[in-house]
Protein backbone atom coordinates (compact mmCIF):
# COMPACT_ATOMS: atom_id res chain seq x y z
CA UNK A 1 0.00 0.00 0.00
CA UNK A 2 2.89 2.33 0.66
CA UNK A 3 3.99 4.17 -2.43
CA UNK A 4 7.15 5.69 -1.05
CA UNK A 5 10.34 3.60 -0.82
CA UNK A 6 10.70 1.84 2.49
CA UNK A 7 14.32 0.74 2.07
CA UNK A 8 15.92 3.91 3.51
CA UNK A 9 13.94 3.46 6.74
CA UNK A 10 15.06 -0.14 7.14
CA UNK A 11 18.68 0.80 6.42
CA UNK A 12 18.58 3.47 9.10
CA UNK A 13 16.64 1.42 11.65
CA UNK A 14 17.35 -2.34 11.47
CA UNK A 15 14.60 -3.03 14.05
CA UNK A 16 11.93 -1.92 11.63
CA UNK A 17 10.31 -4.68 9.61
CA UNK A 18 8.65 -4.50 6.23
CA UNK A 19 5.36 -6.35 5.98
CA UNK A 20 4.87 -7.17 2.33
CA UNK A 21 1.22 -8.30 2.46
CA UNK A 22 -0.02 -5.07 4.01
CA UNK A 23 2.64 -2.84 2.42
CA UNK A 24 3.52 -1.34 5.77
CA UNK A 25 6.49 -0.78 8.05
CA UNK A 26 6.15 -2.41 11.44
CA UNK A 27 7.90 -0.39 14.12
CA UNK A 28 8.51 -1.55 17.69
CA UNK A 29 6.85 0.80 20.16
CA UNK A 30 10.11 1.70 21.89
CA UNK A 31 11.60 2.97 18.63
CA UNK A 32 8.43 4.56 17.20
CA UNK A 33 8.92 8.20 18.31
CA UNK A 34 12.50 8.16 17.07
CA UNK A 35 11.55 6.69 13.69
CA UNK A 36 8.64 9.11 13.38
CA UNK A 37 10.82 12.13 14.10
CA UNK A 38 13.40 10.91 11.60
CA UNK A 39 10.75 10.48 8.89
CA UNK A 40 9.31 13.89 9.70
CA UNK A 41 12.69 15.64 9.46
CA UNK A 42 14.06 13.59 6.55
CA UNK A 43 15.33 15.65 3.64
CA UNK A 44 13.79 13.79 0.75
CA UNK A 45 10.94 11.88 2.39
CA UNK A 46 9.77 14.93 4.41
CA UNK A 47 6.68 13.24 5.82
CA UNK A 48 5.27 16.35 7.43
CA UNK A 49 1.64 15.28 7.29
CA UNK A 50 0.12 12.37 9.19
CA UNK A 51 -3.24 11.87 7.59
CA UNK A 52 -4.97 8.91 9.14
CA UNK A 53 -4.40 7.10 12.42
CA UNK A 54 -6.43 4.09 13.34
CA UNK A 55 -6.47 0.79 15.18
CA UNK A 56 -7.15 -2.70 13.91
CA UNK A 57 -8.03 -5.54 16.24
CA UNK A 58 -7.07 -9.14 15.40
CA UNK A 59 -8.38 -11.94 17.59
CA UNK A 60 -6.36 -15.03 18.37
CA UNK A 61 -6.88 -17.46 15.51
CA UNK A 62 -5.73 -20.74 14.11
CA UNK A 63 -3.87 -20.78 10.83
CA UNK A 64 -3.19 -23.83 8.72
CA UNK A 65 0.23 -23.89 7.19
CA UNK A 66 1.86 -26.35 4.79
CA UNK A 67 5.39 -27.33 5.76
CA UNK A 68 7.85 -29.95 4.66
CA UNK A 69 8.76 -32.21 7.55
CA UNK A 70 12.05 -33.97 8.22
CA UNK A 71 11.12 -36.92 5.98
CA UNK A 72 10.64 -34.58 3.05
CA UNK A 73 6.85 -34.96 2.99
CA UNK A 74 4.36 -32.16 2.91
CA UNK A 75 2.30 -31.76 6.03
CA UNK A 76 -0.38 -29.37 7.21
CA UNK A 77 0.07 -28.06 10.72
CA UNK A 78 -2.26 -25.83 12.70
CA UNK A 79 -0.62 -22.94 14.42
CA UNK A 80 -2.17 -20.49 16.82
CA UNK A 81 -1.61 -16.87 15.90
CA UNK A 82 -1.81 -14.73 19.01
CA UNK A 83 -4.28 -11.84 19.05
CA UNK A 84 -2.92 -8.34 18.51
CA UNK A 85 -3.86 -4.74 17.91
CA UNK A 86 -2.23 -2.75 15.14
CA UNK A 87 -2.04 1.03 15.28
CA UNK A 88 -1.81 2.24 11.70
CA UNK A 89 -0.45 5.62 10.57
CA UNK A 90 -0.80 6.91 7.00
CA UNK A 91 1.97 9.42 6.33
CA UNK A 92 2.16 11.88 3.46
CA UNK A 93 4.41 14.70 2.46
CA UNK A 94 2.71 18.02 1.85
CA UNK A 95 5.99 19.59 0.77
CA UNK A 96 6.72 17.02 -1.94
CA UNK A 97 3.07 16.12 -2.53
CA UNK A 98 3.90 12.42 -2.25
CA UNK A 99 2.79 9.48 -0.17
CA UNK A 100 1.64 7.43 1.50
CA UNK A 101 4.03 5.54 3.71
CA UNK A 102 2.22 3.27 6.13
CA UNK A 103 3.59 2.80 9.62
CA UNK A 104 2.31 0.25 12.10
CA UNK A 105 2.84 -0.26 15.79
CA UNK A 106 1.94 -3.71 17.02
CA UNK A 107 0.80 -4.54 20.54
CA UNK A 108 -0.82 -7.39 22.43
CA UNK A 109 -4.52 -7.32 23.27
CA UNK A 110 -4.02 -7.42 27.05
CA UNK A 111 -2.53 -4.24 28.49
CA UNK A 112 -2.30 -2.86 24.98
CA UNK A 113 0.27 -0.10 24.87
CA UNK A 114 1.87 1.94 22.10
CA UNK A 115 4.03 5.04 21.87
CA UNK A 116 2.17 8.25 21.11
CA UNK A 117 3.32 10.10 18.00
CA UNK A 118 1.42 13.26 18.94
CA UNK A 119 4.69 15.05 19.85
CA UNK A 120 5.74 14.62 16.22
CA UNK A 121 2.40 15.13 14.45
CA UNK A 122 -0.35 17.04 16.23
CA UNK A 123 -2.91 15.41 13.95
CA UNK A 124 -2.56 12.24 16.01
CA UNK A 125 -3.91 13.96 19.11
CA UNK A 126 -7.63 13.36 18.68
CA UNK A 127 -7.21 10.20 16.62
CA UNK A 128 -5.04 8.50 19.24
CA UNK A 129 -7.58 9.47 21.86
CA UNK A 130 -10.19 7.78 19.71
CA UNK A 131 -8.12 4.59 19.53
CA UNK A 132 -7.63 4.70 23.30
CA UNK A 133 -11.37 5.10 23.70
CA UNK A 134 -12.60 2.50 21.24
CA UNK A 135 -9.75 -0.05 21.22
CA UNK A 136 -8.23 0.43 24.65
CA UNK A 137 -4.67 1.09 23.52
CA UNK A 138 -2.76 3.16 26.03
CA UNK A 139 -0.49 5.72 24.35
CA UNK A 140 2.57 6.59 26.38
CA UNK A 141 3.61 10.20 25.98
CA UNK A 142 0.19 11.45 24.88
CA UNK A 143 -0.46 14.89 26.41
CA UNK A 144 -4.17 14.45 27.09
CA UNK A 145 -5.29 10.82 27.01
CA UNK A 146 -9.00 10.72 27.82
CA UNK A 147 -12.04 9.09 26.32
CA UNK A 148 -13.31 11.12 23.41
CA UNK A 149 -16.47 9.67 21.85
CA UNK A 150 -17.78 7.59 24.73
CA UNK A 151 -18.46 9.18 28.10
CA UNK A 152 -15.90 8.98 30.89
CA UNK A 153 -17.79 6.43 32.99
CA UNK A 154 -18.14 3.99 30.12
CA UNK A 155 -16.57 0.58 30.58
CA UNK A 156 -15.01 -1.47 27.83
CA UNK A 157 -13.81 -0.69 24.33
CA UNK A 158 -16.55 -1.07 21.73
CA UNK A 159 -14.38 -1.45 18.62
CA UNK A 160 -12.75 -4.60 19.95
CA UNK A 161 -13.99 -7.57 18.03
CA UNK A 162 -14.97 -9.52 21.12
CA UNK A 163 -16.82 -6.63 22.73
CA UNK A 164 -20.24 -7.57 23.99
CA UNK A 165 -22.65 -4.79 24.80
CA UNK A 166 -24.52 -4.99 28.09
CA UNK A 167 -28.13 -5.48 27.16
CA UNK A 168 -29.75 -3.65 30.03
CA UNK A 169 -32.03 -1.60 27.83
CA UNK A 170 -33.68 -4.46 25.98
CA UNK A 171 -34.96 -6.26 29.04
CA UNK A 172 -38.34 -7.87 28.64
CA UNK A 173 -40.43 -9.46 31.40
CA UNK A 174 -40.47 -12.81 29.58
CA UNK A 175 -36.96 -13.04 28.24
CA UNK A 176 -36.30 -15.46 25.44
CA UNK A 177 -33.46 -16.57 23.26
CA UNK A 178 -30.58 -14.17 23.22
CA UNK A 179 -31.84 -12.03 26.09
CA UNK A 180 -32.29 -15.07 28.31
CA UNK A 181 -28.77 -16.26 27.53
CA UNK A 182 -27.34 -12.91 28.48
CA UNK A 183 -29.43 -12.84 31.61
CA UNK A 184 -27.93 -16.14 32.71
CA UNK A 185 -24.48 -14.69 32.22
CA UNK A 186 -25.48 -11.77 34.38
CA UNK A 187 -25.27 -9.30 31.54
CA UNK A 188 -28.86 -8.06 31.81
CA UNK A 189 -29.60 -5.52 34.46
CA UNK A 190 -33.27 -5.84 35.27
CA UNK B 1 -13.76 40.01 50.05
CA UNK B 2 -14.31 36.36 49.28
CA UNK B 3 -16.73 34.51 47.08
CA UNK B 4 -18.55 32.36 49.58
CA UNK B 5 -20.67 30.44 47.12
CA UNK B 6 -17.88 29.12 44.94
CA UNK B 7 -15.34 27.36 47.12
CA UNK B 8 -13.66 25.50 44.27
CA UNK B 9 -12.76 28.49 42.19
CA UNK B 10 -9.15 29.63 42.05
CA UNK B 11 -9.19 33.17 43.27
CA UNK B 12 -6.67 35.63 41.98
CA UNK B 13 -5.99 39.20 43.03
CA UNK B 14 -6.45 41.96 40.55
CA UNK B 15 -6.58 45.68 41.36
CA UNK B 16 -7.00 44.79 45.01
CA UNK B 17 -10.07 42.63 44.35
CA UNK B 18 -10.53 38.91 44.48
CA UNK B 19 -11.52 37.58 41.09
CA UNK B 20 -11.87 34.17 39.49
CA UNK B 21 -12.20 32.51 36.14
CA UNK B 22 -15.66 31.71 34.84
CA UNK B 23 -16.27 28.26 33.44
CA UNK B 24 -18.94 28.09 30.78
CA UNK B 25 -20.22 24.98 29.10
CA UNK B 26 -21.30 26.07 25.62
CA UNK B 27 -23.52 23.48 24.06
CA UNK B 28 -24.46 20.78 23.28
CA UNK B 29 -27.72 22.61 22.60
CA UNK B 30 -26.26 25.93 21.60
CA UNK B 31 -27.38 27.20 18.19
CA UNK B 32 -23.86 28.21 17.22
CA UNK B 33 -22.39 24.74 17.67
CA UNK B 34 -23.98 23.35 14.49
CA UNK B 35 -25.44 20.28 16.11
CA UNK B 36 -24.61 18.59 19.36
CA UNK B 37 -21.13 19.85 20.07
CA UNK B 38 -19.91 21.25 23.36
CA UNK B 39 -17.08 23.60 24.23
CA UNK B 40 -15.99 23.82 27.85
CA UNK B 41 -14.65 27.35 27.98
CA UNK B 42 -12.75 29.04 30.78
CA UNK B 43 -13.16 32.80 30.68
CA UNK B 44 -11.26 35.65 32.21
CA UNK B 45 -13.82 38.38 31.78
CA UNK B 46 -14.69 37.85 28.14
CA UNK B 47 -11.33 36.44 27.10
CA UNK B 48 -10.96 32.72 26.49
CA UNK B 49 -8.11 31.31 28.58
CA UNK B 50 -8.88 27.64 28.08
CA UNK B 51 -11.13 25.61 25.83
CA UNK B 52 -11.88 21.93 25.58
CA UNK B 53 -14.02 20.52 22.79
CA UNK B 54 -16.36 17.74 23.93
CA UNK B 55 -18.08 15.52 21.43
CA UNK B 56 -19.61 12.09 21.05
CA UNK B 57 -23.25 13.03 21.52
CA UNK B 58 -24.05 11.70 18.06
CA UNK B 59 -21.73 8.72 18.27
CA UNK B 60 -23.27 5.54 16.89
CA UNK B 61 -20.06 3.64 16.15
CA UNK B 62 -20.44 3.86 12.41
CA UNK B 63 -17.25 1.86 11.85
CA UNK B 64 -18.39 -1.08 13.96
CA UNK B 65 -21.78 -1.20 12.27
CA UNK B 66 -20.10 -1.13 8.88
CA UNK B 67 -17.97 -4.17 9.71
CA UNK B 68 -21.16 -6.18 10.02
CA UNK B 69 -22.53 -5.30 6.59
CA UNK B 70 -21.47 -6.15 3.06
CA UNK B 71 -19.35 -3.67 1.12
CA UNK B 72 -22.22 -2.37 -0.97
CA UNK B 73 -24.62 -2.14 1.96
CA UNK B 74 -22.33 0.48 3.45
CA UNK B 75 -22.78 2.82 0.49
CA UNK B 76 -26.07 4.39 1.68
CA UNK B 77 -24.61 4.45 5.17
CA UNK B 78 -21.82 6.80 4.08
CA UNK B 79 -24.51 9.38 3.19
CA UNK B 80 -25.15 9.79 6.89
CA UNK B 81 -21.60 10.78 7.74
CA UNK B 82 -21.51 14.34 6.51
CA UNK B 83 -25.18 14.64 5.67
CA UNK B 84 -24.74 17.80 3.62
CA UNK B 85 -22.34 16.13 1.19
CA UNK B 86 -23.60 12.64 0.52
CA UNK B 87 -22.27 12.59 -3.05
CA UNK B 88 -18.65 13.18 -2.07
CA UNK B 89 -18.93 10.67 0.78
CA UNK B 90 -20.12 8.12 -1.75
CA UNK B 91 -17.24 8.88 -4.03
CA UNK B 92 -14.59 8.51 -1.36
CA UNK B 93 -15.95 5.12 -0.38
CA UNK B 94 -16.31 3.97 -3.99
CA UNK B 95 -12.77 5.12 -4.72
CA UNK B 96 -11.37 3.04 -1.87
CA UNK B 97 -13.46 -0.02 -2.72
CA UNK B 98 -12.54 0.19 -6.40
CA UNK B 99 -8.91 -0.27 -5.40
CA UNK B 100 -9.81 -3.64 -3.86
CA UNK B 101 -10.94 -5.15 -7.16
CA UNK B 102 -10.02 -4.07 -10.66
CA UNK B 103 -13.01 -2.17 -12.00
CA UNK B 104 -12.93 0.18 -14.95
CA UNK B 105 -15.23 3.17 -14.46
CA UNK B 106 -16.87 4.27 -17.75
CA UNK B 107 -16.12 7.72 -19.11
CA UNK B 108 -19.64 9.10 -18.67
CA UNK B 109 -19.74 7.95 -15.06
CA UNK B 110 -16.42 9.69 -14.36
CA UNK B 111 -17.80 12.94 -15.76
CA UNK B 112 -21.04 12.62 -13.82
CA UNK B 113 -19.05 11.92 -10.65
CA UNK B 114 -17.16 15.17 -11.11
CA UNK B 115 -20.38 17.06 -11.85
CA UNK B 116 -22.11 15.66 -8.78
CA UNK B 117 -19.26 16.31 -6.40
CA UNK B 118 -18.66 19.86 -7.63
CA UNK B 119 -22.37 20.59 -7.22
CA UNK B 120 -22.03 19.17 -3.72
CA UNK B 121 -19.14 21.51 -3.07
CA UNK B 122 -21.34 24.43 -4.10
CA UNK B 123 -24.07 23.24 -1.74
CA UNK B 124 -21.65 22.86 1.15
CA UNK B 125 -19.94 26.20 0.67
CA UNK B 126 -23.14 28.24 0.22
CA UNK B 127 -24.54 26.68 3.38
CA UNK B 128 -21.31 27.12 5.29
CA UNK B 129 -21.05 30.78 4.38
CA UNK B 130 -24.68 31.27 5.35
CA UNK B 131 -24.22 29.58 8.73
CA UNK B 132 -20.98 31.43 9.30
CA UNK B 133 -22.65 34.80 8.77
CA UNK B 134 -25.49 33.53 10.97
CA UNK B 135 -22.94 32.95 13.75
CA UNK B 136 -21.73 36.51 13.30
CA UNK B 137 -25.22 37.74 14.14
CA UNK B 138 -26.78 38.38 10.73
CA UNK B 139 -29.65 36.07 11.50
CA UNK B 140 -31.34 34.45 8.57
CA UNK B 141 -31.01 36.66 5.51
CA UNK B 142 -27.67 35.54 4.02
CA UNK B 143 -28.37 31.96 5.07
CA UNK B 144 -31.70 31.93 3.27
CA UNK B 145 -30.12 33.48 0.17
CA UNK B 146 -27.75 30.51 0.22
CA UNK B 147 -30.56 28.05 0.84
CA UNK B 148 -32.47 29.48 -2.11
CA UNK B 149 -29.62 28.50 -4.44
CA UNK B 150 -29.00 25.22 -2.68
CA UNK B 151 -32.60 24.27 -3.36
CA UNK B 152 -31.98 24.37 -7.12
CA UNK B 153 -29.06 21.99 -6.79
CA UNK B 154 -30.98 19.70 -4.46
CA UNK B 155 -33.70 19.51 -7.11
CA UNK B 156 -31.08 18.29 -9.56
CA UNK B 157 -29.93 15.67 -7.05
CA UNK B 158 -33.49 14.55 -6.49
CA UNK B 159 -34.09 14.13 -10.18
CA UNK B 160 -30.93 12.12 -10.66
CA UNK B 161 -30.89 9.97 -7.54
CA UNK B 162 -34.37 10.12 -6.07
CA UNK B 163 -33.28 11.78 -2.84
CA UNK B 164 -32.38 15.33 -1.96
CA UNK B 165 -29.78 14.71 0.69
CA UNK B 166 -29.27 10.97 1.20
CA UNK B 167 -28.43 10.40 -2.44
CA UNK B 168 -26.82 6.94 -2.39
CA UNK B 169 -25.97 7.48 -6.06
CA UNK B 170 -22.53 5.95 -6.52
CA UNK B 171 -21.72 2.30 -7.05
CA UNK B 172 -18.42 0.44 -7.28
CA UNK B 173 -17.54 0.84 -10.93
CA UNK B 174 -19.88 3.68 -11.78
CA UNK B 175 -23.23 5.11 -10.83
CA UNK B 176 -26.56 3.58 -9.90
CA UNK B 177 -28.33 4.91 -12.99
CA UNK B 178 -27.97 7.51 -15.68
CA UNK B 179 -29.38 11.00 -15.27
CA UNK B 180 -32.86 11.54 -16.82
CA UNK B 181 -33.42 13.25 -20.17
CA UNK B 182 -32.85 16.98 -20.13
CA UNK B 183 -31.03 16.83 -16.80
CA UNK B 184 -27.77 18.06 -18.29
CA UNK B 185 -29.50 21.11 -19.78
CA UNK B 186 -31.10 21.90 -16.44
CA UNK B 187 -27.73 21.49 -14.76
CA UNK B 188 -26.14 23.85 -17.29
CA UNK B 189 -28.83 26.40 -16.51
CA UNK B 190 -28.14 26.18 -12.79
CA UNK B 191 -24.42 26.56 -13.43
CA UNK B 192 -24.99 29.55 -15.73
CA UNK B 193 -27.21 31.29 -13.18
CA UNK B 194 -24.95 30.65 -10.22
CA UNK B 195 -22.34 33.39 -10.86
CA UNK B 196 -24.94 36.15 -10.57
CA UNK B 197 -25.87 34.79 -7.15
CA UNK B 198 -22.20 34.71 -6.19
CA UNK B 199 -21.83 38.34 -7.31
CA UNK B 200 -24.79 39.30 -5.16
CA UNK B 201 -23.52 37.28 -2.22
CA UNK B 202 -20.02 38.68 -2.58
CA UNK B 203 -21.21 42.25 -2.82
CA UNK B 204 -23.28 41.75 0.29
CA UNK B 205 -20.63 40.06 2.39
CA UNK B 206 -17.03 40.24 1.24
CA UNK B 207 -16.44 43.91 2.00
CA UNK B 208 -19.06 44.33 4.67
CA UNK B 209 -17.52 46.40 7.44
CA UNK B 210 -18.97 44.36 10.28
CA UNK B 211 -17.76 41.12 8.75
CA UNK B 212 -14.30 42.56 8.20
CA UNK B 213 -13.96 43.74 11.78
CA UNK B 214 -15.37 40.54 13.24
CA UNK B 215 -13.25 38.13 11.19
CA UNK B 216 -9.96 39.75 10.20
CA UNK B 217 -7.15 38.74 12.53
CA UNK B 218 -9.51 36.47 14.47
CA UNK B 219 -8.46 32.87 15.03
CA UNK B 220 -5.21 32.96 13.08
CA UNK B 221 -3.92 29.51 12.22
CA UNK B 222 -0.22 29.59 11.35
CA UNK B 223 0.94 27.62 8.35
CA UNK B 224 3.28 25.24 10.18
CA UNK B 225 0.71 24.33 12.79
CA UNK B 226 -1.88 23.72 10.10
CA UNK B 227 0.39 21.24 8.33
CA UNK B 228 1.51 19.54 11.53
CA UNK B 229 -2.02 19.20 12.86
CA UNK B 230 -3.21 17.51 9.68
CA UNK B 231 -5.67 20.24 8.78
CA UNK B 232 -7.06 19.78 5.29
CA UNK B 233 -9.42 21.38 2.85
CA UNK B 234 -10.25 25.08 2.62
CA UNK B 235 -9.03 25.59 6.17
CA UNK B 236 -5.52 24.43 5.27
CA UNK B 237 -5.45 26.49 2.10
CA UNK B 238 -6.57 29.58 4.01
CA UNK B 239 -3.35 29.22 5.98
CA UNK B 240 -1.37 29.49 2.78
CA UNK B 241 -0.66 25.86 1.87
CA UNK B 242 -1.37 24.98 -1.72
CA UNK B 243 -2.54 21.42 -1.20
CA UNK B 244 -5.63 20.27 -3.02
CA UNK B 245 -6.10 16.56 -3.61
CA UNK B 246 -7.87 17.28 -6.87
CA UNK B 247 -4.47 18.52 -8.08
CA UNK B 248 -2.16 16.33 -5.97
CA UNK B 249 -3.80 12.94 -6.53
CA UNK B 250 -5.84 13.96 -9.59
CA UNK B 251 -8.24 11.13 -8.76
CA UNK B 252 -11.04 10.41 -11.20
CA UNK B 253 -10.50 12.66 -14.20
CA UNK B 254 -9.58 15.89 -12.42
CA UNK B 255 -6.38 16.19 -14.46
CA UNK B 256 -8.51 17.06 -17.50
CA UNK B 257 -9.93 20.27 -16.13
CA UNK B 258 -8.51 23.73 -15.89
CA UNK B 259 -9.02 25.27 -12.51
CA UNK B 260 -7.11 27.24 -9.93
CA UNK B 261 -6.65 26.54 -6.25
CA UNK B 262 -7.34 29.63 -4.14
CA UNK B 263 -5.36 29.97 -0.95
CA UNK B 264 -5.02 32.59 1.75
CA UNK B 265 -2.12 34.48 3.26
CA UNK B 266 -3.00 35.20 6.86
CA UNK B 267 -5.00 32.16 7.94
CA UNK B 268 -7.62 34.07 9.90
CA UNK B 269 -11.37 33.56 9.85
CA UNK B 270 -11.75 35.99 6.97
CA UNK B 271 -9.35 33.97 4.80
CA UNK B 272 -11.22 30.80 5.57
CA UNK B 273 -14.45 32.50 4.51
CA UNK B 274 -12.92 34.00 1.36
CA UNK B 275 -11.22 30.77 0.25
CA UNK B 276 -14.65 29.17 0.17
CA UNK B 277 -16.17 32.06 -1.75
CA UNK B 278 -13.40 31.77 -4.35
CA UNK B 279 -13.54 28.00 -4.46
CA UNK B 280 -17.15 28.18 -5.57
CA UNK B 281 -16.07 30.08 -8.68
CA UNK B 282 -13.52 27.40 -9.50
CA UNK B 283 -16.11 24.68 -8.98
CA UNK B 284 -18.27 26.46 -11.52
CA UNK B 285 -15.33 26.46 -13.95
CA UNK B 286 -14.95 22.70 -13.55
CA UNK B 287 -18.69 22.20 -13.92
CA UNK B 288 -18.79 24.22 -17.14
CA UNK B 289 -15.99 22.15 -18.69
CA UNK B 290 -17.42 18.86 -17.47
CA UNK B 291 -20.92 19.59 -18.73
CA UNK B 292 -19.43 20.65 -22.05
CA UNK B 293 -17.33 17.52 -22.64
CA UNK B 294 -19.56 14.86 -21.14
CA UNK B 295 -19.82 11.88 -23.52
CA UNK B 296 -22.68 9.46 -24.10
CA UNK B 297 -22.37 5.88 -22.97
CA UNK B 298 -22.96 3.52 -20.08
CA UNK B 299 -22.61 4.68 -16.48
CA UNK B 300 -21.81 1.33 -14.95
CA UNK B 301 -18.67 -0.72 -15.50
CA UNK B 302 -18.46 -4.48 -15.29
CA UNK B 303 -18.51 -4.79 -11.53
CA UNK B 304 -18.62 -8.29 -10.07
CA UNK B 305 -22.05 -9.39 -8.86
CA UNK B 306 -20.63 -10.57 -5.57
CA UNK B 307 -18.10 -8.17 -4.17
CA UNK B 308 -15.57 -10.42 -2.48
CA UNK B 309 -12.08 -8.93 -2.64
CA UNK B 310 -8.85 -10.76 -1.85
CA UNK B 311 -7.18 -10.04 1.50
CA UNK B 312 -5.48 -6.65 1.26
CA UNK B 313 -5.44 -3.14 2.69
CA UNK B 314 -6.31 0.04 0.82
CA UNK B 315 -6.65 3.71 1.60
CA UNK B 316 -8.64 5.93 -0.74
CA UNK B 317 -9.02 9.65 -0.27
CA UNK B 318 -10.70 12.56 -2.02
CA UNK B 319 -10.88 16.29 -1.58
CA UNK B 320 -14.23 16.63 0.12
CA UNK B 321 -15.75 20.07 0.62
CA UNK B 322 -14.52 19.97 4.23
CA UNK B 323 -11.12 18.44 3.62
CA UNK B 324 -9.49 15.12 3.00
CA UNK B 325 -12.11 12.43 3.34
CA UNK B 326 -10.45 9.01 3.41
CA UNK B 327 -11.58 5.43 3.71
CA UNK B 328 -9.22 2.75 4.99
CA UNK B 329 -10.49 -0.71 4.17
CA UNK B 330 -9.06 -4.07 5.13
CA UNK B 331 -10.45 -7.02 3.18
CA UNK B 332 -10.14 -10.56 4.46
CA UNK B 333 -11.68 -12.51 1.59
CA UNK B 334 -15.26 -12.35 2.86
CA UNK B 335 -18.06 -10.13 1.51
CA UNK B 336 -17.74 -7.87 4.57
CA UNK B 337 -14.89 -5.49 5.29
CA UNK B 338 -12.68 -6.68 8.15
CA UNK B 339 -11.94 -3.09 9.06
CA UNK B 340 -13.69 -0.02 7.76
CA UNK B 341 -12.27 3.28 8.87
CA UNK B 342 -13.41 6.77 7.97
CA UNK B 343 -10.89 9.57 8.12
CA UNK B 344 -13.24 12.41 8.99
CA UNK B 345 -11.90 15.81 7.94
CA UNK B 346 -13.97 17.97 10.27
CA UNK B 347 -13.06 15.81 13.28
CA UNK B 348 -9.35 16.28 12.67
CA UNK B 349 -9.80 19.97 11.81
CA UNK B 350 -11.07 20.44 15.37
CA UNK B 351 -7.61 19.57 16.74
CA UNK B 352 -6.56 23.20 16.57
CA UNK B 353 -9.78 24.76 17.87
CA UNK B 354 -8.20 25.47 21.25
CA UNK B 355 -5.05 26.96 19.72
CA UNK B 356 -7.08 29.34 17.58
CA UNK B 357 -9.45 30.43 20.36
CA UNK B 358 -6.94 31.17 23.14
CA UNK B 359 -6.76 34.88 23.86
CA UNK B 360 -9.82 35.67 21.76
CA UNK B 361 -13.17 36.87 23.06
CA UNK B 362 -15.91 34.33 23.73
CA UNK B 363 -18.04 35.75 20.92
CA UNK B 364 -15.11 35.17 18.56
CA UNK B 365 -14.89 31.52 19.61
CA UNK B 366 -18.29 31.11 18.00
CA UNK B 367 -17.02 32.74 14.80
CA UNK B 368 -13.88 30.57 14.77
CA UNK B 369 -15.90 27.40 15.23
CA UNK B 370 -18.18 28.52 12.41
CA UNK B 371 -15.20 29.07 10.12
CA UNK B 372 -13.91 25.51 10.67
CA UNK B 373 -17.04 24.02 9.11
CA UNK B 374 -18.02 20.96 11.09
CA UNK B 375 -20.88 18.54 10.70
CA UNK B 376 -21.45 16.42 13.77
CA UNK B 377 -22.62 13.41 11.82
CA UNK B 378 -19.05 13.14 10.64
CA UNK B 379 -17.25 14.29 13.78
CA UNK B 380 -18.96 11.78 16.05
CA UNK B 381 -19.64 9.06 13.51
Domain boundaries, chain A: 7-58+84-148, 160-190
- For chain A positions 55-114, those within 8 Å of chain B (CB to CB) are 56, 88, 90, 94, 97, 100, 102
Output the pLDDT for position A173.
55
**A125-to-B228, B229, B248, B350 alpha-carbon distances in Å:** 11, 8, 25, 10
| Predicted confidence (pLDDT) per residue in B160-176, tens digit | 998 888 999 998 888 98
Best B57, B228, B311 member to test A by mutation, with max A CBs in 10 Å, is: B228
| Greater model confidence, B253 or A4 | B253
Of the candidates A48, A54, A150, the beta carbon closest to that of B328 is on A54
Tell me, letter by letter, the H, E, C secondary structure of B310-369.
CCEEEEEEEEECCEEEEEEEEECCCCCEEEEEEECHHHHHHHHHHHHHCCCEHHHHHHHH
| Predicted confidence (pLDDT) per residue in B286-299, tens digit | 999 999 889 988 88
Of the candidates A51, A100, A126, the beta carbon closest to that of B350 is on A126
Which CATH topology does B62-380 take? Cytochrome-c3 Hydrogenase; chain B (1.10.645)
- Under 8 Å CB-to-CB from A150, ≥6 apart: which residues? A133, A134, A158, B56, B59
Mean pLDDT by 10 residues, chain A (190 residues): 80 85 86 90 88 90 80 81 90 88 89 90 91 92 89 86 71 63 63
Question: Would the pLDDT of B4 be above 50?
Answer: no
| Predicted confidence (pLDDT) per residue in B81-96, tens digit | 888 899 999 999 999 9
- Whether the CB of A37 is below 8 Å from some CB of chain B: the reply is no
In this structure, chain B runs to a length of 381
Output the pLDDT for position A11.
85
Contact B243 A150 (CB under 8 A): no
Question: Would the pLDDT of B266 be above 50?
Answer: yes
State how far residue B282 is from chain A, nearest Cα, in angstroms: 21
Question: Would the pLDDT of B14 be above 80?
Answer: no
Task: Give me the sheet containing B22-26, strands edge to edge.
Answer: B22-26, B38-44, B47-54
Which CATH topology does A7-58+84-148 take? Beta Polymerase; domain 2 (3.30.460)
Q: pTM (2 decimals)?
A: 0.87
| Predicted confidence (pLDDT) per residue in B210-247, tens digit | 889 989 888 899 999 999 999 999 999 999 999 999 98
Backbone dihedral angles phi then psi of residue B139, each to the nearest 5 degrees: -70, 120
Domain boundaries, chain B: 62-380
Amino acid sequence: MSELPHEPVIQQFPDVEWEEAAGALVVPAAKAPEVAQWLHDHNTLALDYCSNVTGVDYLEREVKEKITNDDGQEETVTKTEPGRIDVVYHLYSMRNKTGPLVLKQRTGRDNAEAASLTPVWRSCELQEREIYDLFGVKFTGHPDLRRILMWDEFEGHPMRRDYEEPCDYEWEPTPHGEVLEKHKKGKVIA
Amino acid sequence: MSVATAPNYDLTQRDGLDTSLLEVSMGPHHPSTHGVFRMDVKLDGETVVDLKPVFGYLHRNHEKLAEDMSYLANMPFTDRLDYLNSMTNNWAYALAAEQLVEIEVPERAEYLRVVMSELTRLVNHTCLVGFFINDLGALGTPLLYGFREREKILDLFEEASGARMMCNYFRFGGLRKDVPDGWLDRARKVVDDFPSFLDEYGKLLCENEIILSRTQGIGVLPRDLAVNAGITGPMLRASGVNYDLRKVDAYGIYDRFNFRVPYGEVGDSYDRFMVRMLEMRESLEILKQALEDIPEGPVMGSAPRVFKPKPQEVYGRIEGPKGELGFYLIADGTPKPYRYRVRPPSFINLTVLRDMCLGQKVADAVVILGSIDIVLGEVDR
